[in-house]
Chains A and B, each alone.
Chain A
Amino acid sequence: MKRRTPLAWSNLTYERRKLVTAIAGVAFAVLLMFMFRGFENALYDSQIQLLTRLNGDIVMVNRIKYTMFVPEQFARRRLYQAQAFDGVDAAYALYIRDGAAWKNPQTKKVRALRVLAFNPSEPVLPLPGILANREKLTMPWTALMDEKARTEVGQVAAGTVSELGERQIEIVGTFSLGTDFASINGNLVMSDQNFIRYFGQVGPDEQSRSLGTVDIGLLKLAPGANAEELVQVLSDRLPKDVSVYTKEDFVKKELDYWRNNTSIGFVFSLLTTMSFIVGIILVYQILYTDVSDHWAEYATLKAIGYNNVYLLTIVLQQALILAVLGFIPGYLIALVLYDLTTNATGLLMQMTLWRGVNLLIATFMMCLISGLIAVRKVQATDPAEVFS
């Protein structure tokens, strides 16, 4: 049985206090990376969570609506025109009003909400809370409230009566979606009929809405139809005042906008890189100290016939052990903090397997780089110097 003396493990674990400090250091670096990556992903994920839940294979928007933030509509007749094409099964209209004035029923303070409106008989946004309350939505002056709205919106449940745009509104139920940059404090879902009740006639400073213009059009494909081909056909044949995308492309376009046209990506990449480098320095310190403390012993190993490759594997083993031991607590604490952050901000802090694996690899890289720097000290050790 080939069992080497576990020198790397023994040296690392011999002094418990040192070990705990070392693990805490690595765990902290891991945690920092998880948090920064988490915030970055949360911002992206939040931006697309409404889009991904919309029920449609193809999305139609105004040509100049390059992100959800742009409040431009297109004529509803384009939807009807699209519906006439072969392969299109159904066309749904989604009406959006950003910054609708909602009065907090408890504090009476006015906060901005995003209103999503559609025909309740159509499965535009098939979330459980919405499907269950479709009948109630047909009543005038009613709406559904997002459970994940920020706390500034107030305590809201079915039966709550408050004001929207200085008109009375009754909340007849709740659903679960979450906030993003555009929705600011939360989302309100209502029927298209109620939408024009609230926004059909507004003051001169605001745009009055009708059902003639649509914010997002959704097309359902007939069985067997190819989305990409259909997008091509619709783009060619429809007037150029609308853009047509597959849903995947539309989501990707939205993500690209946030990645490339805002500083979010850069800021968080920088922060993640910085925590990565802090991790390298921390681990390097730990490994270097171990090598320095055991200088004479390592030199003796070289003297009795161990080569540099063996010493390299010892230091790299220590680096990998630290990576694993530090990653586990870092990961677990990150899970807890993700949960806390989600509850506190409504931002979507998601830990997926891929993201976990990604940072595990980053942690290995971090420790390996430190190990490779630290090992130069061992390799420079001259065995002749052990002789006094």
Chain B
Amino acid sequence: MIHHSTAPSFEFNDIGLADDQYAVRIRNLSHHFGTGDLKTQVLYDINLDLKRGQIVILTGPSGSGKTTLISLIGALRSAQSGSLKVLGKELVGLNKAQLVEVRRNIGFIFQAHNLFDSLTASQNVEMAVELLEDWGEKRAKAAEILAKVGLASRVHYKPKALSGGQKQRVAIARALVNEPALILADEPTAALDKKSGREVVTLMQKLAKEQGRTILIVTHDNSILDVADRIINLVDGRLESDQSLETFVNTHDPKSLDRRMFIM
């Protein structure tokens, strides 16, 4: 496939939609690493809108810039040029302290669960609630969200006593407990077996639909593509395609799909 000489822009037809109907609006976003001779561009002129309530899967080969893109959207890196609006807030030009503030409104789910072994499931989730200074209800909130992810009977278990899937569900509970409008998940199923991975993704889908959350999932795992409303393919730092699930499956024959998506 030939790269577009000018970057494609998607969903620009929705001009009538106001800003607050998008969780993420990206215009002409480019990103470089390094300086001087070592300067390399990893993202080229990205234009992308994520509507609220959508579940979007971001795929692409290793080194395509997926991780960079998701860390920019997650306010984990400073955006350099172009425009990047997350939940209505422009991230280009923000300092570190301001980025920390933005991050508090985003739910993060990582490949590893990253739970503190020394804390119970409830305490791990409460750590997120404490960011909102919500001291009185933190325990109740944690218990409620843990019940939603099916861990009502494991609230006071420490991670060592939980299975891999259960730990990832605690991590999801931690990401969801503050009811963020945007959830970013980086390979959430990579550390799980197929069945647990499936359960975790279905759970994310269910909670997102119930509560109208926007979810952006970076994944190599084609067994979970069916939860997505949209599938975006990133190659060499450029948006290559942006399709609904049906068109994605139809236009990617399994062999090319495999080749493109499973180069680690």
Contact = CB atoms under 8 A, between A and B. Distances in A.
Contacts of A388: 67, 110-111, 186-187, 190
Interface residues of B, number: 36
Interface string B117-146: 111000100111011000110000000000
A386 to B, nearest CB: 5
Contacts, number: 82
Contacts of A387: 67, 70-71, 74, 76, 110, 186, 218
A110 interface: no
Interface stretch (B95-103, B196-204, B234-242, B253-261): B95-103
Given A303-B76, A387-B76, A297 B116 contact: yes
Interface string B210-227: 000000001000000000
Given A386-B114, A388-B187, A304 B76 contact: no
Contact of B101 (A299, A305, A383): A305
Interface string B77-92: 1000000000000000
Given A306-B131, A387-B70, A387-B71, A300 B118 contact: no
A277 to B, nearest CB: 30
A304 B118 CA distance: 19
14 contacts: A14-B117, A300-B108, A300-B110, A300-B114, A301-B127, A304-B174, A305-B103, A305-B104, A306-B100, A307-B100, A386-B76, A388-B67, A388-B111, A388-B187
Contact of A7 (B104, B116, B218): B116
A14 to B, nearest CB: 3
A305 B100 contact: yes
Given A5-B123, A14-B118, A305 B131 contact: yes
B186 A303 contact: no
Interface string A270-314: 000000000000000000000000101101111111110000000
Given A303-B74, A305-B101, A305-B103, A4 B130 contact: yes
Interface of A: 1-5, 7, 10-11, 13-14, 294, 296-297, 299-307, 383-384, 386-388
A7 B70 CA distance: 28
Contact of A384 (B71, B101, B104, B175): B71
Contact of B108 (A1, A14, A304): A304
A255 B174 CA distance: 63
Nearest to A307: B100
A303 B131 CA distance: 12
Contacts of B108: 300, 303-304, 386
B94 interface: no
A5 B130 contact: yes
Q: Which 6 pairs between the two chains have the least Cβ-Cβ distance?
A: A14-B118, A305-B104, A10-B118, A300-B114, A384-B76, A384-B71
Q: Quick one: which of A13, A307, A383 has the most chain B CB within 10 A?
A: A383
Given A303-B74, A305-B103, A386-B114, 10 more contacts: A1-B135, A5-B119, A5-B123, A5-B126, A5-B127, A304-B128, A387-B67, A387-B74, A387-B218, A388-B190
Nearest to B66: A387
Contacts of B123: 5, 10
A217 B116 CA distance: 72
Nearest to B70: A387
B182 interface: no
A300 B119 CA distance: 14
B42 to A, nearest CB: 12
Contacts of A299: 114
Contacts of B107: 304
Nearest to A12: B118
B131 A297 contact: no
A302 to B, nearest CB: 8
B245 interface: no
A310 to B, nearest CB: 9
B103 A304 contact: yes
Contacts of B228: none
B26 interface: no
Contacts of A4: 130
A11 B118 contact: yes
Nearest to B142: A5
B173 to A, nearest CB: 13
Nearest to B175: A304
Contact of B115 (A5, A297, A302, A383): A297
